[in-house]
Structure 1
């Protein structure tokens, strides 16, 4: 044991776990932790953005694109509340994250004294957006809880965790034993009997389909998924967060939109690593003849309102490998490939009507290398991208998931770029969303973060404006008063340019990628109003322009 402060115990335990970046904003309650980073500058880089919201977004982008825990640090009260949006997004998207949350002095916790940055039940608030959280009362607690939080964040179902540390605990000295890392246990495996029942369903299936979600990416289960799909001859429909689970170049790989063409004809559907309950995923409504298999790490992800089925509760990679070993190789790969091709062609036909969004998406895909990362924001182009942007590998396409967190794109991209300095990272935003975190241009410049920021500028909250006009035939509160983006970038010392066409955008991203530059680039893209994509995004809205063809090439069932 060594006599150390709580702040020293915190930083030393982070080092023992291999943490190399912490995204945090200093404040008086954190002083005795922040000062310790001076002693480990060559081992941990403390990156300080301009707003606490960015700390959690950066940790999210870092965690989801690297697979390592992204660590953020904020003061209590308003600092924690500002970081909540990024924690909520990370929770929704199963991001490996840890939040170091300051607290008020220990004697005041829960007493309502009105101390600086005090809020009611901060611990309860953090518990709502984390899978594990704890309040340290001693320096020994700090070391142990830091170890436990980091372990929990990257174990089983990856999700954010939090450790609250009062300032008196950070300052207190005690003999503290640093903890060795908890050995990663083999993730839980589905029960053998359930695997056998699922295999029997797949063996007897006439037309099986696999629906793959973000759990495949989080569990590094892409290879197991591909092997099973090929063995049983099943198209793979990917959710928004599941994109990249199997390369878009694979003949069985399909975006979520293709589920409308395939699932009504499937007799067995294997849902792997997906909650399968959001409007974009709850397609069981359109699969009246299917029997279901649910492979998920948590039993709750197989409960109602989902249709009953065979429940495989366990790790996605292990469960898929078990299924691969248990099923019989089926002679239906050619038929599955043909069905997937028909569904893909129908998707292409529907998406072709969405101009100019498709032109911008195609330019982005041509410009970004295969292993490059696209951070997809809620913008007119971004709404269409999950349906149309081909993703070639896991952890290369990042969304805010069901949180739909407007403004998350640029700061999340900063974290992703820091975690992947050798990859081209592009974050797209609309001018509305970009405005929520434009102060982080200062962070991009200060740390020379190689992020390409593409801002589609239409002078409005474009989606809100269109919906208001369509529903009410008038609009309010949607117009934006924008800055001159080039002057704004120049004021922060960020290089900027403008792309007036998809070809120009492609060329400018390619040039930036080839230059292997150190530093950010802002690309302004002026655009006009765009057609609504919602008939393709939301299965409960109006039907697509055309009825999906029967991918089996036969009359539809009655």
Structure 2
């Protein structure tokens, strides 16, 4: 029986560990879904209500698990609907595989006005991914899938995409199902000479700090081992949260790191761009930079490091820890870190009491391994320096992309991929409305997501900036929001309202015990601005 490219696509996804396909079907992809029909036990279609929901769910699942995930959407407007999720996946180094439909191959670029036709779809896809291509014939289809998987699984993880025109799905091809699995390459080894140099650089430092990003999430134990060996505080902002347990004496947030920055004589970047430290806080000749990253291009951006090591942290960190010799006495530096950590905790306890009350209610109700999904909302901004995270991949954020409205759909993907742990999504009523339709998806697939909507009938952050910087000249920031409890219930979601932090804790505790989806509406008013702890001034190299 002839094999088709539609069948190859299904088998390639299965062979490379994809168990769920987050999707919105449509006419250009009908042949593909027909091929999927017979393999649903191995590759389950999880249909959403909007293309952005499908792509965000794949992203959330990838962030929560660290494993590749896939989505499929139609071309043109469907593809464009998923682009916000794609650019966020790119920013977050997320291993997401996109299967994108296309108009008939012979009509591409001709401007015939066909259904879902847009100019430059593949070029746009390439701009949002690590690798993208178009499958046009059976002769090279297997190779194009192999290349896409190789790109996804090697080096810096980022999304990839393959575009398949509607007339190509049923073209014949030939493949061996047993040979479709692409083996992940061995981690890039660190140069032994550079490891020796790094160990010497560390030994000469008196006041070291470590900065971790998403590249450190799979290497928590080795990061902790390094920090303890050298007495270095470990800074994490959005994508590095949870690499160090927040209760660890050496785990610090960015405002604490900023306070210590003028005295730091060595910063060690681990799977982090170091953008905030280099670009915003500033560097000078007294600061040494040791930067280790799997992406060689990252090492020289903004400011060249004193020593850059192009390697996977899986090999570099064990080698570096093994190479460390006797360390100088850094007890005074560790005491300074502890003092600043305690001082900052006391400051924000007074300054952000309203936000901290809500965050404490969530933290106390959420188990240590529960997943917290950040959003572009007042509670979310404060959570970046005030919400304790205890384990890797339990604090999910949009990173530098700052994608308003991602939260509910991305958290839905996390909850679907990790049904073994509770997942809590926070959202303002502005951002919540971007993907609120996926509540129906949660009910349809019985996904145990817990959504908390902080309702102030405004784009609260925009309004707060207008209040603080523009003499309360409010413009385009007020909203009329629905009754989220009624809206959720109409979608089949268990819903409640909490007006105090104690009520939120009680309702969230009940929600976590409920096997289905839940929503809690929390009416709020103005909050103190956190931006002086998020955008901090230059303190070196001025």
Q: Deviations over 1:107-150 (max 9, x none)?
A: 11222222221111111101111111111012354444334323
Residue 472 (structure 1) shift: 2.3
Instruction: Tell me if structure 1 keeps the 8 A contact 2:278–2:303.
Output: no
Residue 185 (structure 1) shift: 1.7
Q: Deviations over 1:15-60 (max 9, x none)?
A: 1122110001011100000112221222221011111011111000
Instruction: Tell me if structure 1 keeps the 8 A contact 2:12–2:181.
Output: no
Please name the residue that 1:272 is paired with. 270
Q: Please list every run of 5 or more consecutive structure 2 residues that lacks an aligned counterpart in the other structure.
A: none
Structure 2 Cα separation of the partners of residues 52 and 329 of structure 1: 55
Q: Deviations over 1:62-97 (max 9, x none)?
A: 001111111010111111111110010010011110
Please name the residue that 2:398 is paired with. 400
Q: Deviations over 1:352-407 (max 9, x none)?
A: 21130111111111111110001101111001101011111111100011110000
Q: Give yes or no for the alignment of 1:535 onto 2:498.
A: no
Measured on the aligned residues, the alpha-carbon RMSD in Å equals 2.0
Residue 284 (structure 1) shift: 4.8
Instruction: Tell me if structure 1 keeps the 8 A contact 2:87–2:128.
Output: yes
Between 1:404-413 and 1:354-363, the stretch displaced more is 354-363
Structure 2 Cα separation of the partners of residues 45 and 433 of structure 1: 29
Q: Please list every run of 5 or more consecutive structure 1 residues that lacks an aligned counterpart in the other structure.
A: 544-555
Alignment of 1:6-405 (within 5 A): 6-178=5-177, 179-217=179-217, 220-278=218-276, 282=279, 284-285=281-282, 289-332=286-329, 334-352=331-349, 353-405=351-403
Instruction: Tell me if structure 1 keeps the 8 A contact 2:206–2:330.
Output: no
Between 1:502-511 and 1:362-371, the stretch displaced more is 502-511
Please name the residue that 1:553 is paired with. none
Structure 2 Cα separation of the partners of residues 309 and 29 of structure 1: 52
Structure 2 Cα separation of the partners of residues 367 and 52 of structure 1: 32
Residue 470 (structure 1) shift: 2.3
Instruction: Tell me if structure 2 keeps the 8 A contact 1:363–1:502.
Output: yes
Structure 2 Cα separation of the partners of residues 540 and 142 of structure 1: 51
Residue 201 (structure 1) shift: 1.1
Structure 2 Cα separation of the partners of residues 203 and 153 of structure 1: 37
Structure 1 Cα separation of the partners of residues 281 and 250 of structure 2: 20
Instruction: Tell me if structure 1 keeps the 8 A contact 2:155–2:295.
Output: no
1:438 aligns to what SS in structure 2?
Answer: coil
Between 1:356-365 and 1:21-30, the stretch displaced more is 356-365
Residue 199 (structure 1) shift: 1.4
1:62 aligns to what SS in structure 2?
Answer: helix
Instruction: Tell me if structure 2 keeps the 8 A contact 1:63–1:95.
Output: yes
1:295 aligns to what SS in structure 2?
Answer: strand
1:32 aligns to what SS in structure 2?
Answer: helix
Between 1:269-278 and 1:100-109, the stretch displaced more is 269-278
Structure 1 Cα separation of the partners of residues 488 and 523 of structure 2: 16
Structure 2 Cα separation of the partners of residues 229 and 139 of structure 1: 52
Residue 154 (structure 1) shift: 3.2
- After TM superposition, the score normalised by the length of structure 1 is 0.93
Instruction: Tell me if structure 1 keeps the 8 A contact 2:266–2:288.
Output: yes
Instruction: Tell me if structure 1 keeps the 8 A contact 2:279–2:302.
Output: no
Count matched residues.
Answer: 538
Structure 2 Cα separation of the partners of residues 466 and 512 of structure 1: 31
Structure 1 Cα separation of the partners of residues 28 and 332 of structure 2: 63
Alignment of 1:349-498 (within 5 A): 349-352=346-349, 353-473=351-471, 474-498=473-497
Please name the residue that 1:525 is paired with. 522
Between 1:424-433 and 1:258-267, the stretch displaced more is 258-267
Instruction: Tell me if structure 1 keeps the 8 A contact 2:189–2:316.
Output: yes
2:325 aligns to what SS in structure 1?
Answer: coil
Structure 2 Cα separation of the partners of residues 297 and 210 of structure 1: 17
Between 1:328-337 and 1:357-366, the stretch displaced more is 328-337
Q: Deviations over 1:245-264 (max 9, x none)?
A: 11112221111221112221
Between 1:145-154 and 1:12-21, the stretch displaced more is 145-154
Instruction: Tell me if structure 2 keeps the 8 A contact 1:284–1:306.
Output: no
Structure 1 Cα separation of the partners of residues 237 and 180 of structure 2: 37
Residue 172 (structure 1) shift: 1.9
Between 1:350-359 and 1:421-430, the stretch displaced more is 350-359
Instruction: Tell me if structure 1 keeps the 8 A contact 2:16–2:182.
Output: no
Instruction: Tell me if structure 2 keeps the 8 A contact 1:355–1:530.
Output: no
Instruction: Tell me if structure 1 keeps the 8 A contact 2:203–2:328.
Output: no
Instruction: Tell me if structure 2 keeps the 8 A contact 1:277–1:306.
Output: no
Between 1:360-369 and 1:177-186, the stretch displaced more is 177-186
1:356 aligns to what SS in structure 2?
Answer: helix
